[in-house]
Amino acid sequence: MKIAYITTFEILGSQNSGGVKCCNHNLWLLRQAFGEENIQVCAITKHKEYLDKATANITPFFTNRSRKIISLKNSVLSRLMYSKSVEDAVFNYIMNLNCDLVFFESTKMGLLQKRLPKEIPQAVFMHTVELEYLKNELASNPLRILLYHAVKLNETLAIKHADKIITLNDRDTKLLEKYYNRTADITMPISMEDEFDESKVTNQNSNHSPLQLLFVGSLFPPNEHGVKWFVDNVMPNVKAKLTIIGRDFEKLSGRLSRSNVKVVGTVDDLSDYYYNADAVVSPILFGDGMKVKTAEALMYGKPMFATDEALEGYEVEGQKNVRRCNSAHEFIETINHYSENKPYSHFDENIRSLFLKKYHSPKYVPLLHGLLSQMKRTKEN
């Protein structure tokens, strides 16, 4: 079964952002389920240098967004991620593949989906319900309302032409029904390959003074809003130090740095920061989908102080070292209580076991194979 995998996420670049990690996990699942030689990747990118990363199974398409006025008009009226010329090139690429199935990574490519012949089955993975995500973004950036028409147009067409739809969690499944009167075919939560190295966990308990907290996440609105709020309202009142890791967060070093707050920002390897931290904080106050960094923290067996939004879609009930905090008072009280009761665990075997049971990628290979193998391309007349 030959599958064309189409994405506008920057999968050819850094692998540290949550969205890109989710895409790469989906791609890994497809390759495991159907064989790497049968997955043809179309990677639409804004980075011309990534064109050099073409291989027998990966074809990059460069979308030039430098012409800002034209790009804004294009985005407001129809296409969100690329120009008509790029859409034409990708369409021709798909048609020349003679593939059995097209797998779209998001609902932002509805106009392209509309053009494909009906005999080619289409599957769509919904990282979020884009209309709901846009609505949440408006609080911090009201000008995003300009994209409403294009977002709704593409998502409506994507869902209309999708033969199978995959959502991340029950919340998105309900939003899909609410906005589009369509049910998901399967719900497949965030999962990832296991990168944990047990030899790097020197001991189970820590006597660090003060408590070493870690935030991991790239600089985009929900993370930026949550971290600023946490630094301003929680960190002055807790017996702890916070390290902030994530793509582009160094741009906010002047705004966020304190005597007990260190901003590192972009790094090539996150693992040592996880191993050295006593606990992870995730003060995400709004958002959609599921947070990849929550699964990552589970993989490393890290105790967590997290909001309901950060834990959305994760089955963490009964985990004593996953603490739900939804206000500054709750974060302050819970973190201080934890820090005052040494030695505290900076590795929790039960959290790690939860990851292996629920969010380890190999578990979902049969599920995805079962869904997509039902989709057969019909013969052209």
The rounded distance, in Å, linking the Cα atoms of 158 and 134 is: 16
**pLDDT tens digits, residue range 69-105?**
445 556 555 667 788 899 999 999 999 999 999 999 9
Q: In the prediction, which pLDDT does 190 show? A: 92
Tokens, residue 91:
């369409």
Q: Distance between the two ends of the chain, CA-based, in angstroms?
A: 20
For residue 17, the model assigns a pLDDT of: 72
Give tens-digit pLDDT for 239-279.
999 999 998 999 999 999 999 999 999 998 999 999 999 99
Q: What is the mean pLDDT of residues 304-313?
A: 96
pLDDT of residue 139: 77
- Give the pLDDT of residue 353: 97
- How do residues 212-237 score in pLDDT, each as one tens digit? 999 999 998 889 999 999 999 999 99
> Quick one: how many helices (H) and strands (E) in the chain?
14, 15
Residue 266 backbone phi and psi in degrees, to 5: -65, 130
CA distance linking residue 107 with residue 112, whole number of Å: 10
Q: What percent of the chain has pLDDT over 70?
A: 93
**Per-residue pLDDT at 121:** 97
Domains of the chain plus CATH, in order, are 3-192+361-372 (3.40.50.2000), 199-358 (3.40.50.2000)
Contacts of 337 (CB under 8 A, 6+ apart): none
Average pLDDT, the chain: 91
- DSSP annotation of 2: -
What mean pLDDT is predicted for residues 155-161? Answer: 97
- The pLDDT, as a whole number, for residue 20 is 87
The pLDDT value recorded for residue 21 is 86
**Per-residue pLDDT reduced to its tens digit, 7-36:** 999 999 876 677 888 899 999 999 999 999
Q: What is the pLDDT of residue 69?
A: 44
For residue 18, the surrounding DSSP H or E stretch is helix 18-34
Which of 70-74, 120-124, 160-164, 341-345 has the least mean pLDDT? 70-74
Helix H or strand E segment including 224: helix 221-233
C-alpha Rg value of the chain to the nearest Å: 21
pLDDT tens string 353-376: 999 999 999 999 999 999 999 887
| Alpha carbons 277 and 220: distance in angstroms, whole number | 23
Average pLDDT (119-130) is 95
Looking at residue 378, its pLDDT comes to 65
What residues does 324 pair with on adjacent strands? 306
Per-residue pLDDT of 45-61, as tens digits, reads: 999 999 999 999 999 99
Residue 381 is predicted with a pLDDT of 38
What's the rounded Cα separation, in Å, for the pair 75 and 65? Answer: 10
CB 186 within 8 A of CB 369: no
**Of 28-42, 126-140, 168-182, 213-227, minimum mean pLDDT range:** 126-140
How far, in Å, are 216, 223, 286 from residue 226 at the CA level? Answer: 12, 5, 8
Estimate the crossing angle of helix 349-358 against helix 292-299, to 10 degrees.
120
Residue 282 has pLDDT above 50, yes or no: yes
DSSP label of 379: P
pLDDT tens for each residue of 177-216: 999 999 999 999 999 899 999 888 866 666 677 999 999 9
Q: In what order do the strands lie in the sheet with 39-45?
A: 58-62, 39-45, 3-7, 101-105, 122-125, 164-167, 186-187
